[in-house]
């Protein structure tokens, strides 16, 4: 039995007169003790899926189970066993750090002492602010407090909805380290994020787009799926480079990627040289093509393209 099983879950919302489908019959499973990532842009349906799994929302059709319990029939059992950290900070801003924590502990009929070892690593970082009101904490501290509150009853499955959105790079890295430590305590963790670079930190990821799962595998396997040669392109005028590249017949795909553009070509590698000389003719200065290894984001872009075509 898997920690989370999702079978053909569909969810639709009424938006005025039209009907929006947030989840298109999606199915997947998460193994016990796994750190599973749902990667996708805003509006992909990640939060909706989490809300269904945490029994806050009913699915239109399909079944799902968490820790072996059905999300509809056994919702009471599930509520005892899961920890949920919503995307928005949802603790009592007017209660102190300690009050929030002990309040949620008592709601689960436990105490801070009982499960202190589980939250110790996180709690010591915010302990010096324990008399401070939660509303007065910094973003990263709020995140840690929310994680503590979600963990205080030693859940078997932890749902983290975009825990690192709006958190600085250092806190993000720290947060992921915390998650890896938790994983050692045999807690199954489902985490959603819009940041592709965090995908590599998960055991397995599902790429979600517009309510559909485009691919689901380990990060390494997903990057291996990328069957084309990927190039990075640079020139002085990056914007003109993008439009010119897209105009070339030989170019299969081209996306801006921070400082550079990631390009794939049709046919053989010869075409890369061909395009390079043509770009020089078009007046581009210091054009540089380099072969690179594809990352998750490249795979995601490709899967999206394939999805659009089919």
Partner 1 sequence: MKALLFLLEKEFRQVFRNPAILRILFILPVIQLLLLPLAADYEVKNVKICVVDYDRSPASQRLVHKITSTAYFKLVDFTDSYAKALQYVEYDKADLILQIPAAFEKNLVRENTSTLFIAINAVNGVKANLGGAYLRSVIQDFNQELQTELIQLPRQNLHPVISIASSNWYNPLMSYRLFMVPGIQVLLITIVGAFLSAINIVNEKETGTLEQINVTPIRKYQFVLGKLIPFWVLGLVVLTIGLFISWLIYDIVPVGSLVTIYVFSALYLIAVLGLGLLVSTFASTQQQSMLISLFLMMIFILLGGLFTSIESMPPWAQAFTRFNPISYFIDVMRMVVLKGSTLYDIRDHLFKILLFGLALNSLAIWNYRKRS
Residues making contact with partner 1 (CB under 8 A):
54-56, 76, 79-80, 82, 84, 86, 88-95, 99, 103-104, 106-109, 149
Least distance CB 27 / partner 1 (angstroms): 23
Residue among 55 and 248 whose Cβ is closer to partner 1: 55
What is the DSSP secondary-structure string of 184-245? TTT-EEEEEES-GGGGGGSSEEEEEETTEEEEEE-HHHHHHT--S-EEEEE-SSHHHHHHHH
**Nearest C-alpha neighbor of 62 from the set 104, 19, 17, 11:** 11
Is the CA virtual torsion 127, 133, 137, 142 positive or negative?
positive
Residue burial 27-52, b: 16+ Cβ < 10 Å; e: rest: ebbbeeebbbbbbbeeebbbbbbbbb
Residue among 54 and 264 whose Cβ is closer to partner 1: 54
Least distance CB 19 / partner 1 (angstroms): 20
Least distance CB 292 / partner 1 (angstroms): 41
Residue among 72 and 95 whose Cβ is closer to partner 1: 95
Report the alpha-carbon angle 194-147-75, nearest 5.
90
Least distance CB 54 / partner 1 (angstroms): 5
Least distance CB 13 / partner 1 (angstroms): 15
**What are the E-state strand segments in 105-182?**
157-161
Residue among 24 and 79 whose Cβ is closer to partner 1: 79
Residue among 93 and 138 whose Cβ is closer to partner 1: 93
């Amino acid at each position: 039995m898997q920690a989370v099983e999702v079978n053909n879950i569909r969810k639709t919302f009424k938006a005025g007169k039209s009907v929006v489908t947030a989840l298109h019959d999606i199915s997947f499973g998460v193994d016990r003790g796994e750190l599973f990532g749902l990667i996708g842009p805003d509006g992909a349906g990640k939060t909706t899926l989490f809300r269904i799994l945490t029994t806050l929302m009913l699915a239109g059709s399909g079944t799902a189970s968490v820790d072996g319990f059905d999300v509809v029939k056994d919702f009471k059992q599930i509520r005892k066993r899961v920890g949920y950290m919503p995307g928005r900070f949802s603790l009592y801003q007017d209660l102190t750090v300690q009050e929030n924590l002990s309040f949620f502990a008592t709601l689960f009929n436990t105490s801070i002492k009982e499960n202190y070892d589980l939250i110790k690593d996180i709690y010591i970082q915010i302990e010096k602010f324990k008399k401070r009101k939660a509303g007065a904490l910094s973003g990263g501290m709020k995140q840690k407090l929310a994680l503590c509150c979600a963990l205080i009853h030693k859940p078997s499955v932890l749902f983290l909805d975009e825990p690192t959105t709006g958190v600085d790079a250092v806190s993000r890295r720290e947060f992921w380290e915390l998650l890896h430590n938790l994983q050692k305590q045999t807690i199954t963790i489902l985490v959603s994020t819009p940041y592709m670079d965090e995908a590599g930190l998960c055991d397995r990821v599902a790429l979600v787009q517009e309510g559909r799962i485009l691919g689901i595998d380990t990060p390494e396997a997903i990057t291996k799926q990328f069957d084309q040669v990927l190039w990075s392109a640079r020139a002085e005028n990056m914007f003109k480079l993008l439009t010119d590249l897209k105009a070339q017949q030989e170019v299969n795909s081209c996306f801006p990627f921070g400082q550079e553009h990631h390009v794939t070509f049709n046919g053989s590698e010869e075409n890369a040289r061909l395009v390079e000389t043509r770009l020089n003719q078009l007046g581009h200065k210091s054009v540089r093509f380099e072969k690179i290894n594809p990352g998750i984001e490249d795979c995601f872009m490709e899967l999206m393209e394939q999805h659009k075509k089919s």
